[in-house]
């Protein structure tokens, strides 16, 4: 397997296919680079070089007990881009991966990047605070940690069966293969990484990071996202960006990169090439 070693000794697994302008994909919690398969194959066929890594503690990367925070996530992504000497890259992040992309660009600069895409992403901040009254109560995320700590296997069966892909909506047929693949990816990762990662994706405030970005950013979000609620994420993110474009998808769920891949991919391609 292709891996790099982070500055604190963690092996980070990655896929690197093709040639041409690089597109770098950052996945959501608690999944892996495999969640990007529909995008990797599509953009590879369009002549791009596609790269996706497993976040530390996730997938095939080291199951370390430490470093499960946005600073380490961003530094690992910076190490990968430096190792592969990527330039003019498009960075695409889904959910937690959107936060990783934003923090990487703000923390390490935009010199290697051309554009960015945030899909169902967690910025500006998910948890309810005085400055973010529309956020979700901290108790919601505490409850997620309890489920990870006590019965992760069942939790990872229930989440994709219902709100993640919108399979709990009337008239939406569940796809057993997607549910099982979600469970497979989740159970590949480490429980400690997933437990700590809930704090990382819910409590990190990306407001200042978003304000720093100058490159073009496409913000894609479904208005029926039951995991990262639309009203407290995408519109606020787009307003904070200096060069942001908001694309809202009526009725699309959080996992729309898989269930509505054809639409999402086409819009990303138009943004990259436009």
Catalytic residue numbers read: 95, 225, 254
Kindly state the DSSP code that residue 172 receives in the 8-state scheme: P
CA–CA gap between residue 107 and residue 109 (Å, rounded): 6
Strand residues in the chain grouped as ranges (E): 3-5, 11-17, 22-26, 49-53, 89-94, 113-119, 217-222, 244-249
Quick one: angle between helices 96-108 and 191-203, nearest 10?
A: 70
How far is it between the farthest Cα atoms of the chain?
A: 49
CA distance 63 to 196: 12
**Tokens describing residue 29:** 């919690």
């Amino acid at each position: 397997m292709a891996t790099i070693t982070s500055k604190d000794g963690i092996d980070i697994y990655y896929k690197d296919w093709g040639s041409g302008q690089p597109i770098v994909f950052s996945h959501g919690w608690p999944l892996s680079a495999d969640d990007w398969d529909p995008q990797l194959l599509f953009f590879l066929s369009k002549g791009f070089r596609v790269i996706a890594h497993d976040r530390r503690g996730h997938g095939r990367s080291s199951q370390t007990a430490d470093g499960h925070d946005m600073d380490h996530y961003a530094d690992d992504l910076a190490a990968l881009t430096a190792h592969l000497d990527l330039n003019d890259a498009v960075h695409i992040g889904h959910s937690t991966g959107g936060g990783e992309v934003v923090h990487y660009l703000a923390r390490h600069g935009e010199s290697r990047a051309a554009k960015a895409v945030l899909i169902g992403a967690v910025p500006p901040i998910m948890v309810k605070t005085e400055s973010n009254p529309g956020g979700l109560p901290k108790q919601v995320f505490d409850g997620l940690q309890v489920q990870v700590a006590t019965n992760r296997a069942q939790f990872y069966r229930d989440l994709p069966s219902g709100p993640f892909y919108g399979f709990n909506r009337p008239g939406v047929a569940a796809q057993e293969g997607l549910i099982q693949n979600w469970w497979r990816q989740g159970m590949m990762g480490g429980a400690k990484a997933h437990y700590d990662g809930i704090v990382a994706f819910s409590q990190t405030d990306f407001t200042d990071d978003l304000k720093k970005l100058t490159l073009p950013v496409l913000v894609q979000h479904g208005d029926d996202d039951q995991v990262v609620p639309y009203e407290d994420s995408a519109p606020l993110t787009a307003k904070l960006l200096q060069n942001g474009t908001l694309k809202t998808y009526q009725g699309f769920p959080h996992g729309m990169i898989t269930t509505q891949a054809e639409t999402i991919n086409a819009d990303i391609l138009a943004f990259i090439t436009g």
